[in-house]
Amino acid sequence: MISVSLPDGSVRELPEGSNGFDLAGDISPSLKKASVIAEINGRQADLSRPLQGGDQVRLITKRDPEALEVLRHSAAHLMADAILRLFPKAQLTIGPPVEDGFYYDLYFPEGSDSVTPDDFGRIEQEMQRIAKEKHRFQRHDVDGEPATDEVFQRYRAIDGKDASGGLNKFKQELVDGILERGEGLSFYRHGDFVDLCRGPHVPDTGWLKNVKLTHVSGAYWRADASREQLVRVYGTAFFSKEELDEHLRLIEEAKKRDHRVLGEQLDLFSFHDEAPGFPFFHRKGTIVFNELVDFMRSLLRRDGYEEVRCPQILSEELWHRSGHYDNYLENMFFTKLKLRSEKNPDEVVDVSEERPMAVKPMNCPGHLLIYSERPRSHNEFPLRIGEMGLVHRREMSGVRHGLFRVQAFTQDDAHHFCTPDQIEAEIQFLIDFFKEVYAVFGLDDVRIELSTRPEKSIGSDEVWEEAEAALRRALDGKGIDYVVNEGDGAFYGPKIDFHIRDVLKRSWQCGTIQLDFSMPERFGLKYVAADGERYTPVMIHRACYGSLERFMGIIIENYAARFPLWLAPEQVQIVPVSDRFFDYARKVGAELRAAGLRVHVDLRDDRVGYKIRQASLQKVPYVIVVGEKEQDAGTINLRARDVEANNGEIGEMTVAELLAKVEGERRPGGVSAFVEARAVEVG
């Protein structure tokens, strides 16, 4: 007998040669069914691996996040098997699990057919067939000399059977690397398929029934553009059909909510070939944009920020001083002056400039100039200088994406200047500030990451230690969970990033807080302290929305463009039953407009049903229908987008009653009194 210990500290006696399956079965049959792999002495291993006396064993089940990665890695093997059957010329390279699934990179020698999405159906069919056959995943370790290892030799034979050179050079490169590092080679086999692999895997292919191929893209061998071009086939896998279906539903839902499509349908913004990557905001998009700005401004005012405006174009010399020229050149736009030739007015020549200018990619240098414009005292600290700063950044072609990645965007940027011992309080203030803002949009799922000193960095150890400690103290002091990204900070200081999860479970990086000891130094910033001495202030860069454009894209998708009343570009649409009631409709419209609502009176010659449909497609929160009854009674008939009961029809009321009801939801974060009332009734 051997004894192994479990995470709860208990010890189990098992017969000699027992493995993870036996352990799980010894505990309970349901655990045996749910177990995917074992973690033996902190290392992941197949359940089939024999246990030794004294091992610390943790059984990892379907519910553990690690299990999903194992499942998907196994699914990558299954997919590779299926693809090789259908595309015998393909050569395998690597196939890891990723965030939402897995991929396998394949090399298709010249002249051979490549995988396209049209092939997904038959590949999936093949995978289903292999899954049903329930082949065990069997591990083989190469213990002795690889040259004499039977499995390894057979693998080489199989792997190279159709490759022109006889062998798959990608796998060969991997094998060479593993041997060079002195690590052991290991292989996994299911059915006839063998692949070089570290493991572990699910027990058998029967686990891999809920698999779906998603897309295909290009990639390079080892992410090196000078190396071979590979075809990357992506898929995803789940333990249950329900989870897979839910995942596919979310992908479909995300497609439907694509802000680029909704932005066009709702006439919010557009893009044009004449300015690639630069959004044009239309009337309605501008309303949303301005509401976001107004809301942010109200908070900045409340919290004593000084809002400023800086020029768009500044001397190139300034960008040398700030370090952007050295570190950010590729992302900057530069101006080029031209002149008409005096001799020949048709001829245009470039002007050679003694002081060339550049378009700002960041707002900080402007704020630094404002700071240094006069002597500063610690008494005005913390000094918070904010700007709705429009910045321009060149992006490589191919990375632009709707409002999410543009070449000109507006940051709700601010720089806090303070003393070192004010850092902690400022950070805590900002964390509360950011969370307050996100909560207004229903974005309560906020993940915080702390990035620490990178290898390449400036500043003394003491300063860095103190800065990181201040960030940690601030986070710990608020009892906030956070992930640490070691060495991922900016070269001038550590930072805290805010990642927000939307209703479709997608994560977006929005806010950022960065400590900076470098820029104030470079610009010679000083303040006079209580002791009368001059010191260099600490600078904190921060942006809460991040980019207004990007944030707008996020909330369009988060709300599926069903904006809450305060953000809705069109808040009320008035539908007269026929042209006999146009005057009354105009009168009601004027009253609501006088109260500050954004109202559209629909005077087109169309049926009521048609106009209601139009308002619904445009996602207008409230529709008012007026006809003979309402005109005689001096009332309106209300229909609400967000009320499900009775098709959203709420009924007759006066304008005054309506205004009183919607007052709350006209403020950021406010909720509909109609929806709330219903919730109370139901609850």
Partner RNA sequence: GCCGGCAUAGCUCAGUGGCAGAGCAACUGCCUUGUAAGCAGUAGGUCCUCGGUUCAAAUCCGAGUGCCGGCUCCA
**Residues 262, 268 contacting (CB under 8 angstroms):** yes
Q: Point out which span in 58-66, 364-372, 463-471, 598-606 binds RNA (CB under 7 A).
A: 598-606
394 binds RNA (CB under 7 A): no
> Cβ of residue 402: shortest distance to RNA, in angstroms?
5
625 binds RNA (CB under 7 A): yes
Q: Please, which residues bridge with residue 450 across strands?
A: 484, 496
Among 256, 301, 534, 580, binds RNA (CB under 7 A): 580
The C-alpha atoms of residue 269 and residue 94 are separated, in whole angstroms, by: 41
Interface positions, 76-105, toward RNA (CB under 7 A) = 94-96, 98-99
**45 to 74: interface string for RNA, x by CB under 7 A:** ------------------------------
122 binds RNA (CB under 7 A): no
**DSSP states along 422-448:** GHHHHHHHHHHHHHHHHHHTT---EEE
Tell me which residue of 538, 543, 360 sits closest to 463, measured CA to CA. 538
**Residues 106, 76 contacting (CB under 8 angstroms):** no
607 binds RNA (CB under 7 A): yes
> Cβ of residue 520: shortest distance to RNA, in angstroms?
32
Among 465, 628, 657, 663, binds RNA (CB under 7 A): 628
> Cβ of residue 256: shortest distance to RNA, in angstroms?
13
Q: Which of 46, 105, 413, 602 is catalytic?
A: 413
> Cβ of residue 171: shortest distance to RNA, in angstroms?
8
How many residues bind RNA (CB under 7 A)? The answer is: 64
639 binds RNA (CB under 7 A): yes
Q: Please, which residues bridge with residue 640 across strands?
A: 622
Q: Is 413 a catalytic residue?
A: yes
Sequence-distant (≥ 6) Cβ neighbours of residue 524 within 8 angstroms: 372
What are the CA-CA distances from residue 299 to residues 215, 281, 426, 435 (Å)?
Answer: 43, 24, 15, 12
Interface positions, 195-254, toward RNA (CB under 7 A) = 195-198, 215, 217-220, 222-223, 225, 229, 232
Q: Which of 58, 189, 384, 415 is catalytic?
A: 415
Q: Is 393 a catalytic residue?
A: yes
Helices (H) and strands (E) in the chain, counts: 21, 34
606 binds RNA (CB under 7 A): yes
Among 12, 85, 89, 400, binds RNA (CB under 7 A): 400
The C-alpha atoms of residue 373 and residue 364 are separated, in whole angstroms, by: 14
Q: For RNA, which is the closer residue by CB, 271 or 566?
A: 271
The verdict on whether omega for the bond into residue 279 sits within 30 degrees of 0, i.e. cis, is no
Q: Is 510 a catalytic residue?
A: no
Q: For RNA, which is the closer residue by CB, 156 or 415?
A: 156
Q: For RNA, which is the closer residue by CB, 89 or 222?
A: 222
Q: For RNA, which is the closer residue by CB, 51 or 612?
A: 612
DSSP three-state, residue 614: helix
Q: Which of 135, 393, 550, 639 is catalytic?
A: 393
What are the CA-CA distances from residue 143 to residues 67, 152, 186, 187, 481 (Å)?
Answer: 27, 11, 9, 11, 44
Sequence-distant (≥ 6) Cβ neighbours of residue 155 within 8 angstroms: 187, 194, 196
Q: Point out which span in 42-50, 271-279, 374-382, 480-488 binds RNA (CB under 7 A).
A: 271-279
Burial 154-164 (b: 16+ CB within 10 A, else e): ebbeebbebbe
483 binds RNA (CB under 7 A): no
**648 to 677: interface string for RNA, x by CB under 7 A:** -x----------------------------
With helix as H, strand as E and coil as C, how does 166-215 read?
CCCHHHHHHHHHHHHCCCCCEEEEECCEEEECCCCCCCEHHHCCCEEEEE
Between the two ends of the chain, the Cα-to-Cα distance in Å is: 58
536: which DSSP letter?
P
**Residues 218, 230 contacting (CB under 8 angstroms):** yes
Q: Point out which span in 150-158, 373-381, 537-545, 578-586 binds RNA (CB under 7 A).
A: 578-586
Tell me which residue of 388, 227, 412, 416 sits closest to 310, measured CA to CA. 388
The C-alpha atoms of residue 138 and residue 124 are separated, in whole angstroms, by: 23
Interface positions, 274-293, toward RNA (CB under 7 A) = 276-277
Q: Point out which span in 304-312, 483-491, 621-629, 663-671 binds RNA (CB under 7 A).
A: 621-629
Q: For RNA, which is the closer residue by CB, 157 or 610?
A: 610
Q: Which residues bind RNA (CB under 7 A)?
A: 94-96, 98-99, 174, 178, 183, 185-187, 195-198, 215, 217-220, 222-223, 225, 229, 232, 260, 264, 271, 273, 276-277, 396-402, 577-580, 604-610, 612-613, 616-617, 623, 625-630, 637, 639, 647, 649
The catalytic residue positions are 364, 393, 411, 413, 415, 495, 541
